[in-house]
Each structure stands twice: as structure tokens, then as C-alpha cells.
Amino acid sequence: MRLLVTGGGGFVGSHVVEYYAKKGDEVIALDNLSRARILGSGERNARYNWEHLGRYDNVERAEGDIRDGGLLQRLAGDVDAIIHTAGQVAVTTSLKDPRTDFEVNVLGTFNVLEAARLSKSNPAVLFCSTNKVYGDNVNKIPVEELKTRYTFAQGHASGVPEGLSTDLCEHTPYGCSKLAADIYVQDYGKRHEVDTAVFRMSCIYGTRQFGTEDQGWVAHFVIATLTGRPLTIFGDGKQVRDLLYVEDLVRAYDAFLGRRDRYAGEVYNTGGGVKNTTSLLELLDLLEAETGMRSELCFSDWRPSDQKVYISDIAKARKELGWEPKVSPKEGIKRMVSWVGENKRLF
């Protein structure tokens, strides 16, 4: 295969590139390397994943911007699939600069779809959407408070299905731009222009993730713990997320590519599911058990539109893609602790 991975220098993107590079496929990684600048995660980090990919002869690295439709058309001319991970990724940044958020997430995704539609090689398009497209509707699901976590009340225990409304509720600019892009991707698939799939991802974590307070909280917690820095918890720390290790996510993408004709235009909630949930407080306990260390904590107000509980109902991905997460939070955190420990100079 020949693939184009937008955001190939990012966390998810670099894992996608590496997965296919190891299989012997030809991969083009496209990135404008903006993450470190925008999220202040350090100049050295900007190129870390990019340089990591330099070891593969079958990876071509293209520095460029998804807002440039002509560039995308040139790169997509002869590929079999486009895995679109590039994006403005932080809710906080979208509140400060909604225009850039809109241009990167909506126009950038539209450019990807058009490049695929016009390509001679009929590439599939896989889009990294987010649970944030459900906005505040998630917070209308009743929750119960337990000692260290919130939990969905009876009747909602299997998590959020794809059919939850994305409408008639509050969002953030990030939620709006991702939702607009998500609907475009579905529509190109449903109208048989392009074989598309939308992956509404929850909390993805893994090695080579440069998490900050604004995005990538699991990595941010691991890095702070191992470097002895204090952590701020927004809310009470009992909010719950389902964690999905990045390699499991890439397997879901690959499973779709094997079934692209049958399921074009579909949406998949993609997370760790009920089995792989943790609250923020519980993750700190898991980290302490793994490292013997614990960051000093301070608590601050809840962030806008934060969800008390988000758990993906992964039944549809399981059934249609024959996919199942394999890496438990305990195992995933162990791998991250070891990667951060070996690369402390970066932090």
C-alpha cells in the first residue's frame, strides 16, 4: 500500500506511520510541526517524532500545511489511503483562537476529502474525530458519585453509543469544528464519493505523546510525576475516562481499511470501553504504585464543557471491525513510564 498520514509528526500520526512503515508499505507523513509551538511543549519536542520516523527508508516526510489544498492534491494523487490525524487539538486553544481552530479542523479536513475525491487512485479517508462532538449532551446522562470516581447511572453502563445526539447543546469551538468535519467525512462516505470512516476517539495515550495541561492528560500526568512537578486538577479528580493505548487505535484503523467497501461512511466510537476506565485520582494511584512517586496536587474550577464521565460504547467497532482493545491501563502506563524515564532530557 501507499498511504498519506496527515499530522504524521504528531503522537497518533507517528504511530500510524510507524505501523505501516514496519509492514513495508510506502508512507508519506505530512506535518507543519506546529504542535510544540502552539501548546508550548518545547522546541526540542517539535521534531522528536519527525526525527524518529527518519529511520525508515519507506517514509517520506513532507513539511506542509493541510490548509493548502493544492499540496494535498499533489500528495494524494497516487495513495490508497489517507489517515487524517492533523488538527488543532486543544479545547483551550480553540477558545483563545477559534478562527485558526476552524481553518485547520474544518477547511483542512475538507481539503483532505477533496484531495481524495479528485485522486486517480480512489484513496479511503480515515478521520480522527473526538468524543467532544457530543458536547454537553454527555453531561445530560445521569451519573452517580462514588468514593474515587463518577459513574454512569443504571441503564447507561455500557457507555456512549454513536447514536447520542450531537445537537441542541453547548459545545466548544473545538467540538464544533471537529463535528463539522466529522459530518463532512460521513457525507462523502454516504454519497460514495470516497470510502470514509469517522473514529470518535476518547482518551488515547502512549509513548511519544507530549502531553500538556491543555491536551494529552495521561502523558501530562506521567511526565509531571516522573519529573517531580506539581499537577493542577480541574474539578474534583473523580471524572472518568476510558483509556485506549495508541497501538490498539492503529489496529482499529487497519481493520477498517480491510473492510472499506462495506462500511464506508460509518462512525465508530473508539476508546478503551468499560473495561479500561479510570478516574484522574485513580490514575494517580496507579502511577504511584508503578513509580513510587506522586506529584503535589492543587485543585481548580471545572473547565468549560468538561465531561464528568465519558466512556465509549465500542460495541459497533467490535462487531463491524472485529476489533478489541488489548492493552490494559496498567500495561500501557508501564510502557509510558519506561519511555518518559528513558527520555527525561526532553521534559
The reply to whether 104 sits near ligand NAD by the rule CB under 6 A is yes
Per the structure block, which three cell numbers stand in for 326? 488489548
The reply to whether 333 sits near ligand NAD by the rule CB under 6 A is no
Pairing of strands 124-130, 266-270: unpaired
CB 295 within 8 A of CB 230: yes
Of 3, 4, 5, 12, the one binding ligand NAD by CB under 6 A: 12
Window of 85-93, 156-164, 272-280, 320-328 that interacts with ligand NAD by CB under 6 A: 85-93
Long-range CB contact pairs, 97-105, < 8 A, 24+:
98/173, 101/173, 101/174, 101/177, 102/173, 102/177, 103/67, 104/66, 104/67, 104/177, 105/174, 105/177, 105/178, 105/180, 105/181
CB 142 within 8 A of CB 156: yes
Total number of residues that touch ligand NAD (CB under 6 A): 27
The reply to whether 164 sits near ligand NAD by the rule CB under 6 A is no
Taking the least distance from each CB to ligand NAD, the nearer of 7 and 265 is 7
The reply to whether 206 sits near ligand NAD by the rule CB under 6 A is no
Residues 56 and 49: their CA atoms lie apart, in Å, by 12
The reply to whether 31 sits near ligand NAD by the rule CB under 6 A is yes
Backbone conformation region of residue 292, classed left if phi is above 0, alpha if psi is from -120 to 50, else beta? left
Taking CB under 6 A as the criterion, which residues in 38-77 touch ligand NAD? 65-67
Taking CB under 6 A as the criterion, which residues in 298-327 touch ligand NAD? none
Tell me which of 174, 188, 245, 253 is the catalytic residue: 174
Cβ contacts of 184 within 8 Å, gap of 6 or more? 106, 109, 110, 113
Reply yes or no on whether 174 is catalytic. Answer: yes
Taking the least distance from each CB to ligand NAD, the nearer of 153 and 224 is 224
User: Least distance from C-beta 12 to ligand NAD, angstroms?
Assistant: 3
The reply to whether 7 sits near ligand NAD by the rule CB under 6 A is yes
Taking CB under 6 A as the criterion, which residues in 107-146 touch ligand NAD? 108, 128, 130
The reply to whether 213 sits near ligand NAD by the rule CB under 6 A is no
The reply to whether 201 sits near ligand NAD by the rule CB under 6 A is yes
Taking the least distance from each CB to ligand NAD, the nearer of 216 and 265 is 216
Residues 250 and 247: their CA atoms lie apart, in Å, by 5
CB 239 within 8 A of CB 203: no
Window of 113-121, 197-205, 233-241, 300-308 that interacts with ligand NAD by CB under 6 A: 197-205
**119 φ, ψ (degrees, to nearest 5):** -70, 145
Alpha-carbon distances, residue 54 vs 50, 57, 73, 107, 154 (angstroms): 7, 7, 24, 29, 50
The reply to whether 89 sits near ligand NAD by the rule CB under 6 A is yes
The interaxial angle of helices 217-227 and 280-291, nearest 10 deg, is 40
The reply to whether 273 sits near ligand NAD by the rule CB under 6 A is no
Active site residues: 174
> What does the binding site for ligand NAD look like in residue numbers (CB under 6 A)?
7, 9-13, 31-35, 65-67, 85-89, 104, 108, 128, 130, 201, 203-204, 216
